[in-house]
Amino acid sequence: MGACMGHRQSQSSDENSKKQRKETGRPSATSSSSVAVHVEDKPVVSQAGSASTANTAGQPPTTTTSQSSPPPSSPPSAAVPPSIPYSPHPSSDPSEPPLPKLVDLRPDVKLLLIGDVAQVKCSLKAKTISIYISACLDSELERSVLMERVFPKLQRHCNEQGYELQFVDLHWGQRSEDMDDHTLSEYSMYELKECQKKSLGPNFLSFLNQKYNCQCPSQIMASAFEKLQASLTDSSDKQLMDEWYRRDDNNLPPMYVLQPVSSQIRKYKDTNKDVRLKAEAEWNCIQQRIIKILVNAWSPQEQERYLNSIMDLEISEGPLNSDSPTDTVMLNSRVFKDIKSHTGDTSIRCYIDTTGDNNEIDENMQMRLDQLRNQLGSKINEGNNLKFDISWSKNGVDPEGISEHAQYIDSLCSQSEAMLKTLIDKTVCDVQTVEDETPVKKIHERLYSELQQHSQHCQQLCQTFQGRQDLLSKVESYLSGDANHPLIMHGHTGCGKTALMAKSAALCCKALGDCACIVRFVGATVETYSLGQLLRSICEQVAYLYGHHISVGSKGADKLRKELPKILKKVQAKRPLVMIIDGIDEIKSCDYNELDWIPKSLPPHVKMILSTSSDNFPGFKSLKSHLTDSSCFLEVPKMSSKEANTMCESILKSKLRTVSAGQRKTLQDAINQCPLPLYVQLATHIASQWHSYNISNETVLASNLRDEISSYITHLEKRFGVNTVKHSLSYLTVAKHGLSDTEMLDLLSCDDLLLDEYFVYRRLAVRRAPTILWTQIKKELAPFLTEHIVHGRSLRTWSHRAFTDAVCQRYLSSKNQKAKFHEYLADYFLGRWAGNKKKPCMSNEEGIEVLMDRHIQPQPVKFDKLYNSRKLDELPYHVFHSGDHKRFINDYIWNVNWMCNKLDGTDVSQMLDDVALARRAEPNNADLDMLQKVLQLSAYALYCDGTQLFAQFHTRLQSALEGKDSQQYPMMRKICKLTENPPIPNFLPSGESLLEIVDLGEDCDRQAEESSLKTNPKAILNGMYRMKGSKNHMVSISTNKGQIKVWDFETQTAVRTLIGIDKPRDIRMIDDYRVVVLCNRELKIYNLDTGTFETTLKGIMNLQMPYYGIQDEDHVVALARNRMYVNIINISSGEVEATFKVGEDRFLNSLLVSENGERCVCGDETQKPSPLLVWDLNARKLIHDFRIAQHEFKPEMSAISKDGNYVVSVIKELGDPSPNFVIVYDLQSGQLFKKWKPVSNTCCVAVSSEGECIVNGCEDNTILVWNLSSGALKHTLRGHTHPVNRIYMNENGQRCLTYDTNQLDRSVRLWDLQHGVCLATFTPDVPITCCQINAEGDIAVIGLEGHENVITLRLRTPESGPIADIKSQYGDPSRRAEVFDMQK
């Protein structure tokens, strides 16, 4: 372990007083001498023999440094620190505590925290790679094979890296019915744009073979069509065009629209297969005739505009019309090299465009195809262009009959997989690089994501906001007025409350100036699912804004309901607060009679606006009873006729649509009857699909919102099938947090009732739901769906409760109906039909049962090292609601492995939700009651690291499970028995380190705080040190109490106590018993065994930089008071034996001494660039002067190895805003050994020759482990919620303990540096004031705020044996537990 430096230099404000410079540490502007020769960009070592100095920076003798730790004269404060480590904002009231200064935050984070939704740029995206597949039917076999053999493996590969991979193929599984209304191109453009917008990587894969497949234009501009008609001379051609195209004046501009095939060919959807095939052939003939007419009549320019294939349109509007990087586009091209010589084969029409009955090759289409291929080829990288030439077969692509074709399929699969995997890996790497290079957020990731999503939701609502100026004026008056009550906006479902709340949020900063605004839309994110989560999220934002620790939000709904009003009292005039919470009636599992979290009277500088429905909320009456002042309530009325019509016209205009005079009257009459914004939106959405030629019975609207939603669902059923709509909407409605598109398609693929309805006339080789099935529905419902990001995935759910209620009433009204769909979802997240498990279905032809693989994504608990958070969230919820309560409680509540995984892979609030469900099933279960309480007490700790479950349970339940009533808790007793040998590594804490569950009554929290955790506000252990001669003892200091204690950390007892010491700030062990103590500004020698004072070393230490270290048992190395010298002091006599001086007016600002006492390293702040100076303490001469041009060392972040062979330091390039970097010098050769530039600034460093590693903590909360020999990055350790600034390594350098002295992250973590894993974490209820790791690396000893005794954290694993009863002695056994007063 080597010595280290961990304190920031301090400067005086008086540059004119040399004496004051010496005393306070301010350097002079120039240096009068130099001891090194410098060559640009390369340090050259001078062997000057001048005397020099060494010291250990006031830190315990460990390889740790800190950029932000206080000087040794300032022990950690007992006060809870602010949640943001910024300089405080001066308060307008001297009696008020300073506010966190948000100006130091990243600009977007600052805007998010203060809630300036009008200014913040939302950049949060799901970790999704969506690839749109463009193809003709000629490649369906290839795509089917890829779907079976390649896509599942790639999806699993993405899951293992935290990404979701989607393949969007609207051309696979097409039915003739899907082509009936010619809307495929609309769906294609919709999905294509979705993929381009959402995909973080590749987004387009084209199968461009030899078939162009030109289609009749679905729309022709009226002017072009009428010109065409005028040019036609053949009356039959005119008649044909008039039959199939009708003018639609509702389009802007007017268009002639191709009519549905079934409107002219009645048998096109006939249930008789032969009749339907005949009708399809008839349509193909008509289509070819129409195309021929258009080709003959139109110019090449008009043909290029209107006569296209859907594939051409996709390529033109996709990669050819975007600035996407070339590595986002891929091309697969298969050519039958001799196909043109086989025109006699009838099957040729499926693979190449032909004309006439003789199957002549359509050269015009081939020319367009070649042109398209060339254009697309220029947009992609060569490695993304796969080309295959194969021989023609009368069966087309025939891998079962022709070996060449089988080899082609194998090559296609292997090459496609390699190509896609390369692009996916590049995407993951690029995204990580961008994240690494982005400045750190300095707030918790969960809160950052939450604020991003609510801000984005708010902005989207504001974009479409219409009217309501009178209500906005009332809101503005409330915000700027003196009212001290909440404002409740209420109205009927669909009256526009949410949009009004969003607009109100946008007004806040304008109305109140320098205010903060907390905005939440209940149901828009997972964090607003329940009252506990909602209040936690709000309290965490308040913590960052007003200087609380974020743990204030983890106390649970019951406690936060009472504490929120108290927390709001901390708001100051300097930063007034507005809270806007939309949809309190949407909070799940909320007792509407417990509304005490809504203050009747608001504290000064606080405004609160809430919204709720008044017609569909059982708690509205209770709310009016709670808030008796009528001025608290503002009713949101229905829209005025003018506002409704304005909104209607705006929606139509955005869709480039209008309506005829008669249709407008129908629409306006309906809106006048129900002028609710949601109704206006829905009615206008329906009207936008009307054509000017529709007859009156085709343009009917219901008179109210409920009936109109029902009518709209009926319309969807007629278009897409009853079961298709019913099951899709039911899955969407019963899902806990929504569903991703991939999940929805997997669910539909397991739904045989739906598939049998969809594929009545066609059987596919792969039994899966085609993408177009879900695309059609989600596009039609797009205005009424919302997306939110959960665990990196984009999930869809309803944006309006009215639709949820309509689906429940229509499809899920009975308990059995609802339970059935929950069971389907439970099966899915269990992976019942995943992983090559074939699901039975009925064969269409034979009517017998067959087994078919649905190619469903597997649902393990973990994808490699990453948790399957979707399974952990959704599975228990659906098992419970399917009615299997016994299985739910046994498998998902008392299954310890599941509990550990859930807490580690999701969030403690999700586990609490499950326990709440279990208590609904068994309300009198005492075990469940205790489990809920202990989880809530441990909520903040389990949020920091869910794996510390056993440490939390063991400590909190000791008393409760040892009492007379403990037999009523059999399950909790069973869990606690595992703590000594837990299934996963855990710390086993000693002593009263956590609040205990002492009573399960209503006063549990109060009694726990008062009686189970005995603390002393004055008790502060602010330093912990390992001893040289004893592996079972440690030394602590308490500066405020003037105490030094020797602890037997196995028993947590003080074996020696020295009191009456003058402000002990730091110690260094000389030998087994003697220590050098920094007492205020003097160095004193004490014998800890005998409890005696021995001597005071000569000299006064520098006020701000009292650095010193141990050379050997006879000498101390100390920085002189004026910082111009380094003194070597004899321990016995206290006299200075030697003095090292670098030069006149050169001030040293750091000091490190290797544990073997051979090397001393100091920083020189005077020379520019600042050097790092190295002395040989045995020879007592300067041996190295390290400098790098245009760089300065950060010696406060340096460390030296125990053997003195290596020094590691942080270095910064002058004038460069990029992160600092780390360098390592070989002190034997004097050469620059290694140089690393982490992506984030380093906060602390440590080095170990024994462990052959260097460890540095970074501002992005990561810890990096480097190989000392090779310089390679071994591990990136993640888990801390804030940057650490202390690293304590064990004796052999294979383990380390990390800790944040700023107490923003209250956890200590034990790491295995060889394997790069966190062995254990512990998060106490109060801040840690000091910590240390034992020599073996299996025990951590910590001091807690308010505690006089140390706490021992013992690492326990499944392989741990019984805890040994170690009885160790320290010094003379007769003096055990003695107290020595140093003032006597």
- Contact call for residues 1023 and 1350 (beta carbons, < 8 A): no
Using one digit for the tens of pLDDT, what is the confidence trace for 1061-1109?
999 999 999 999 999 999 999 999 999 999 999 999 999 999 999 999 9
Report how far residue 1042's alpha carbon sits from residue 686's, in angstroms, rounded to the nearest whole number. Answer: 79
Share of the chain above pLDDT 70, in %: 91
Pairing of strands 1308-1312, 1023-1026: unpaired
Report helix, strand or coil for 470.
helix
Enter the pTM of the model.
0.89
Burial of 889 (0-12, 13-18, 19+ CB in 10 A): buried
- Contact call for residues 922 and 947 (beta carbons, < 8 A): no
Q: Determine the pLDDT at residue 964.
A: 59
Q: Determine the pLDDT at residue 59.
A: 36
The answer to which of 76-80, 262-266, 669-673, 754-758 has the lowest mean pLDDT is: 76-80
Q: How far is residue 664 from each of residues 642, 653, 687, 699, 925, measured CA to CA in Å?
A: 14, 14, 9, 10, 61
Report how far residue 1174's alpha carbon sits from residue 1186's, in angstroms, rounded to the nearest whole number. Answer: 8
CB count within 10 Å of CB 350 equals 15
- Contact call for residues 950 and 986 (beta carbons, < 8 A): yes
Report how far residue 750's alpha carbon sits from residue 754's, in angstroms, rounded to the nearest whole number. Answer: 9
Q: Which helix (H) or strand (E) holds 130?
A: strand 128-134
Asked whether the predicted pLDDT for residue 17 surpasses 50, the reply is no
Q: Determine the pLDDT at residue 509.
A: 74
Name the token pair of 1174.
């190295």
Query: What letter does residue 91 receive in the DSSP assignment?
Result: P
CB count within 10 Å of CB 1240 equals 21
* Average pLDDT along the chain: 87
Q: How far is residue 1310 from each of residues 207, 976, 1160, 1333, measured CA to CA in Å?
A: 52, 22, 29, 9
Q: Determine the pLDDT at residue 1020.
A: 84
Closest CA to 172 of 851, 857, 762: 762
List phi, psi (to 5°) of 1059. -120, 170
Asked whether the predicted pLDDT for residue 241 surpasses 50, the reply is yes
Report how far residue 1274's alpha carbon sits from residue 860's, in angstroms, rounded to the nearest whole number. Answer: 28
Dihedral sign (CA 894, 898, 903, 908): negative
Burial of 467 (0-12, 13-18, 19+ CB in 10 A): middle
Using one digit for the tens of pLDDT, what is the confidence trace for 545-581?
998 899 999 988 888 888 888 889 889 888 999 999 9
Using one digit for the tens of pLDDT, what is the confidence trace for 91-123?
455 567 788 888 888 899 999 999 998 888 888
Using one digit for the tens of pLDDT, what is the confidence trace for 1172-1184?
999 999 999 999 9
Q: Which helix (H) or strand (E) holds 839?
A: strand 838-842
Query: How large is the average pLDDT for residues 469-482?
Result: 90
Report helix, strand or coil for 868.
coil
Crossing angle, helix 403-437 and helix 140-149, to 10 degrees? 60
Report helix, strand or coil for 185.
helix
Q: Determine the pLDDT at residue 1068.
A: 96
When mean pLDDT is compared over 496-510, 642-656, 1212-1226, the highest value belongs to 642-656
Query: How large is the average pLDDT for residues 1004-1030?
Result: 68
Name the token pair of 848.
């017998």
Report how far residue 759's alpha carbon sits from residue 738's, in angstroms, rounded to the nearest whole number. Answer: 27
Closest CA to 198 of 931, 965, 794: 794
The separation between the first and the last C-alpha atoms of the chain, rounded to the nearest angstrom, is: 37
Q: Determine the pLDDT at residue 748.
A: 96
- Using left for φ > 0, alpha for ψ between -120 and 50, and beta otherwise, residue 145 falls in alpha
Using one digit for the tens of pLDDT, what is the confidence trace for 859-916?
999 999 999 999 999 999 999 999 999 999 999 999 999 999 999 999 999 999 999 9
Using one digit for the tens of pLDDT, what is the confidence trace for 740-797?
999 999 999 999 999 888 877 667 778 999 999 999 999 999 999 999 999 999 999 9
DSSP 403-468: HHHHHHHHHHHHHHHHHHHHHHHHHHHHHHHHHHHSPP--S-HHHHHHHHHHHHHHHHHHHT----
Name the band, by pLDDT with cuts 50, 70 and 90, for residue 1113: very high
